[in-house]
Chain A
Amino acid sequence: MKDAVETPLNEAEFHINDYIRLEQMPHFLCPGCGHGIALRALLWAVHELGIDKDKLAIVSGIGCSGRLSAYIDANTFHTTHGRPLAYATGLALARPDLHVIVITGDGDSLAIGGNHLIHACRRNLNLTCMMLNNEIYGMTGGQVSPTTSPDRYTTTTPAGNTEPVFDACALATAAGAGFVGREVTMQVTGLKNLMRDAIQHDGFSFVEVISDCTEIYGRKNDLGNSPEMILSQKSQMRPDAYRNTVDVPFRPNALTCGVLTKTDRPEYGKAYRDMTARLRGEGK
């Protein structure tokens, strides 16, 4: 496993314009959306790691999160709903020379793409998955998602949400992901560091970003404006952050943030290539 501490970081100042497609501006996100902050943190991490943009592949699914790939100056693939991890699996196996990063959302990866997420965790291919959790299907107008908090109003829970929520990080850990972390958008430096560690992790890494959907979800539930929502999300962080265990399978009112799981497991792509080399008599 590569060690974050030993990797020299690119100390040049980070300018986001070096990493986005300015010609695609103005962007598509609503005022107050947290996704832009997550995008900045991701690109900041890419910058600090000195990743060559030509070798950076961003694979996204469908939804508000899925649209972010178009803004990144890299090899970008906006795929189908729930399937970015499947596409990324093919791409990363085909091209181990690329840094493959998946951007997905709570509906994309926990509902329609749930099967791909748990098997990506189990397989442990060298991929980074950043899941933007805004608790809602924003693109389609604000329907309930697997992470919508209890009692919240959405366009398909007009009397309040009666379904329990998924804890994405507990799910990823249980399914075998070697690196699992969570952060809120208010802690942008912390999120950048978390993304950096996730990208450096040799194997499958999963990061849940607690993002806010002010325009559609916040307004319908009187959660305040964007700063108020972001502050509220931060205030729900557990004080004992950066722990190595997840003891809250179904999230109550407190979130555990930081690196939640970090284990060494054989990276799948290397394991497969070693096996095929042995079969061809090329030794290990």
Chain B
Amino acid sequence: MANQINLQGNQACALGAIAAGCTFYAGYPITPSSEVAEAMSRELPKVGGTFIQMEDEIASMGAVVGASMGGLKAMTATSGPGFSLKQENLGYACGAEIPCVIINVMRGGPSTGMPTRPAQGDIMQARWGTHGDHPIIVLTPASVAECYTETIRAFELTERLRVPVIVLIDEVIGHLVETVDLDALQPEKLVERTFATGSKDGFEPYAVTDDMIPPFPRPGDGFRSHTTGLTHLPSGFPTQNPAKAEAALVRTTDKLDLHADLIASNELVQTKDADLLIVALGISARAAQQAVTDLRADGIKAGLFRPKTLWPFPESDLKACVNGAKAILVPEMNQGQMILEIERLMARDLPVIGLNKIDGEAITPAEIVAKVNEVLS
């Protein structure tokens, strides 16, 4: 029997985390993501997990990485200024390959911006917010049900691949209430982290394995390894040897290329015969979906490509669905961020046009329809 409940996006992220086996949450209050922390403070004790509200955003990210270093599935949630503060310790998790999930509920920026208003201005920060070249995965749910399922997928990817995963939602999705059937959304079998086993002699915590994912040495299991944010050898200890340093860094990015199929995820809406392709995510994609319906009712063949995995950007999937499109429209609640990636991939083949809005309001289907008519005229 269906278990239909009304659920908010932020709360769905929390329940998804619990369903994924998350047993540690550290956070700091910030609008519009605080409901994630509140839900985790209620839910984690029920499963024997630990919730802690830390002294600041930096500490909460540090505690999450620390708990994950202890072998637990760990998560935090934040927004805007808090996401900026988390970048340092997020970078550590990228460099040391510590699994963790970060929910970032995007609000208007820069700085304090418009805390209660939606935006999609962190698209580039989610990819490049921490310094240096680094691997990272960013998922972008567009519904309450997806907040649940994509948070589960975030845990599966971070635990399996040892790459931090950001679940990037806008304020509208975070505060949206929809009816969902959680029973129907349960994962079949959870993907777990591979912990190191076997011989301790000569164990290398960052050994280059076939799948490029080194088994994780859990404290207490006898491996007594070293973890550092310094560029390190397979042994875990720092190096400045040019060839070895480069090899160590390249492995972490090659790892994502090797597992690209596992990471990529998109939704295609009527793209096969589309003369005009819309690329959008989050609440903008919901508006775009309605716009596609409205445009088709007017005889305009529009389609939607919605990346559920934003980074690494699913470039081959996008190219495969362009078909006969004459133009691409990228509506986003910023001054043009995702469009830069679409232009990089597609601008040589067809026009790529932006529809941008930074006034604290979501993009409406009517605005997209009007823009499409303008482009096609």
Contacts and interface: CB of A to CB of B under 8 A. Distances in A.
B266 to A, nearest CB: 34
Interface stretch (B7-15, B172-180, B215-223): B215-223
B63 interface: yes
B86 to A, nearest CB: 11
A76 B226 contact: yes
Interface of A: 21, 24, 53-55, 57, 59, 69-70, 73-80, 83, 85-95, 97-98, 115-116, 118-119, 272, 275-276, 279-280
B58 A83 contact: yes
B225 interface: yes
Interface in B77-92: 88-89, 92
B121 to A, nearest CB: 26
Interface string B203-232: 000000000000001011111111111100
A77 B69 contact: yes
A95 B129 CA distance: 30
B228 A83 contact: no
A89 B66 contact: yes
B220 A83 contact: no
B69 A91 contact: yes
Given A53-B224, A75-B219, A94-B70, A280 B65 contact: no
B71 A79 contact: no
A94 to B, nearest CB: 4
Contacts of B64: 90
Interface of B: 23-24, 26, 44-46, 48-50, 52, 54-56, 58-72, 74, 88-89, 92, 217, 219-230, 237-238
A86 B226 CA distance: 18
A92 B238 CA distance: 25
Given A93-B67, A95-B70, A80 B54 contact: no
B201 to A, nearest CB: 13
Contacts of B88: 80, 83
Contacts of B220: 54-55, 75, 95, 97-98
15 contacts: A55-B219, A75-B219, A77-B69, A78-B230, A79-B92, A83-B58, A86-B62, A89-B52, A89-B63, A90-B64, A93-B63, A94-B70, A97-B220, A272-B50, A276-B48
Contacts of A79: 62, 65-66, 89, 92, 229
Given A94-B50, A276-B45, A87 B221 contact: no
A272 to B, nearest CB: 7
B226 A78 contact: yes
Contact of A90 (B58, B63, B230, B238): B63
Contact of B221 (A54, A69, A83, A116): A54
B224 A73 contact: yes
A90 B53 CA distance: 11
